[in-house]
Amino acid sequence: MDQSLTVYIDFKSPYAYLAIAPTRLLARELNIAVNWLPFVLDIPSYLGSAQLDQAGKVAEQVRTQAQWSGVKYAYYDCRRYANLRSLTVRGTVKIWDSKLASIGMLWAREQGDDVLQNYIDGIYLPFWRRELDIESLAQVRRVLAESGAMVTGFDQFANNRGAEQNRLLQETSFGRGIFGVPTYVVGDEIYFGREHLPRIRWQLQDGRGEAPDVAYELMPSDVVAAATSRSLAVGISLEEPESYLAIRQVLALVSDFDLELSWYALPPKRPEKAPPAQDQSRAALHRRFRTENRARDRRRYCADIAAGGGIGAATAALLEHHAIRLEPGGPSAEWASAGYVSSPVFRLGEELFVGRQHLPLIRARLAQSER
């Protein structure tokens, strides 16, 4: 079994920022080395662009309402997990160019893992507090020096060899289907998102036992606030296997906690129109890679669900078996208009969660409320 683990990160991604600590923990648990590589997201190619003025108002934008909804939810989502670790994730006034910080990461890699880890922290922490300009050569050089790196020759490296190394790395990575961060590569398997860390651990341990589901695993040091409500609304789509997988986990919550539980039917997500085959633009390739990634995840986690029929029939049978009735209306219209990217959707009190990977935090909040 290949015990190598490669992780792609981008300093302008809060999701990659939140993946650093649990990835390091996994590496310590399994006593493996991590090959950390920079990946520069081309955010405007798939999420539009925007820039704020000094008052925090939108001054320029090329972004749809659905894209804005996705961006707003992403910050909302990342901040709740950052708060567990007393980390700061402040909003940005523009889409940053992280090429220079990535080149700095390549320079740090050449000087050993201690320097590299210091550099990763030295960029992430102040950048997300908005105390660091990652487009400034002087500031990136200062972080390198503070990380224990030799900085003599870095300026020339950044403008020549390092720039070329970074360019080739980005082309090679994107060419193999890396489109977002954090992305993990284990052998020939590609995983997008830290929610796959349980399965990555399972794979690195030779696949012993039952394969785990996706989860945002909590860190031992996370400080979880108690739920302020026992009301849990669950939105599912009959036609999405991700919802089927969530139903049993929600029922386990019901058996462990006294909940006011409501179930709602979400309208099916409208399939994204595939770009023409001749369109080889970055945006078109990104859409294809994202579609391929979702299909790959469904093969991993959902392959056995509808063995005897369609996923809709399997989900309906499971609901009927547990006497679950989907309520009409309710918050489902609100969730749909908010640009949810997948089902299931949960609302614990007033806190919104998109995806079953959040169930560990929902459980932890409920457990805290009983102490």
Confidence at residue 60, expressed as pLDDT on a 0 to 100 scale:
57
**More confident: 329 or 326:** 326
Banded pLDDT at 341 (limits 50, 70, 90): low
Nearest CA among 273, 271, 293 for reference residue 284: 273
pTM of the model: 0.94
**Residue 184, pLDDT above cutoff 90:** yes
Banded pLDDT at 92 (limits 50, 70, 90): confident
Confidence at residue 307, expressed as pLDDT on a 0 to 100 scale:
60
Confidence at residue 371, expressed as pLDDT on a 0 to 100 scale:
85
**Residue 315, pLDDT above cutoff 80:** yes
Helix, strand or coil, per DSSP, at residue 351? strand
In the numeric block, the tokens 């996994």 are attached to 26
Tell me whether the CATH fold assigned to 5-203 matches the one assigned to 231-369: yes
Task: Please provide the CATH number assigned to the domain covering 231-369.
Answer: 3.40.30
CB < 8 Å & 24+ apart, contacts of 349-353: 349/227, 349/228, 349/229, 349/231, 350/228, 350/229, 351/80, 352/73, 352/76, 353/77
Q: Domains of the chain: which residue ranges?
A: 5-203, 231-369
CA distance 51 to 65: 15
Q: Strand runs (DSSP E) across the chain, as ranges?
A: 5-9, 34-38, 49-52, 58-62, 183-186, 189-192, 231-236, 260-265, 345-348, 351-354
Over residues 75-96, the mean pLDDT reads 94
CA distance 301 to 315: 15
What residues are paired with 236 via a beta bridge?
265
**At residue 221, what is the residue type?**
S
**Residue 79, pLDDT above cutoff 90:** yes
pLDDT-above-70 percentage for the chain: 90
Class of domain 5-203: alpha beta
* 275: preceding bond cis by omega (within 30 degrees): no
Banded pLDDT at 103 (limits 50, 70, 90): very high
Over residues 141-157, the mean pLDDT reads 98
Residues belonging to the chain: 371
Residue 188 in tokens: 């020939």
CA distance 364 to 225: 8
Over residues 11-40, the mean pLDDT reads 97
Banded pLDDT at 332 (limits 50, 70, 90): low
CB < 8 Å & 24+ apart, contacts of 115-122: 115/147, 115/148, 115/149, 116/36, 117/24, 118/146, 118/147, 118/148, 119/143, 119/144, 119/147, 119/149, 120/9, 120/20, 120/36, 121/20, 122/146, 122/147
Burial call 73-96: b when 16+ CB within 10 Å, e when fewer: bbeebbbbbbebeebebeebeebb
What residues are paired with 327 via a beta bridge?
264
Query: Quick check: 233 and 331 in contact, CB under 8 A?
Result: yes
Q: pLDDT by residue (tens digit) across 39-73?
A: 999 988 777 765 655 555 555 566 777 777 778 88
**Residue 255, pLDDT above cutoff 70:** yes
Confidence at residue 78, expressed as pLDDT on a 0 to 100 scale:
97
**Residue 112, pLDDT above cutoff 90:** yes
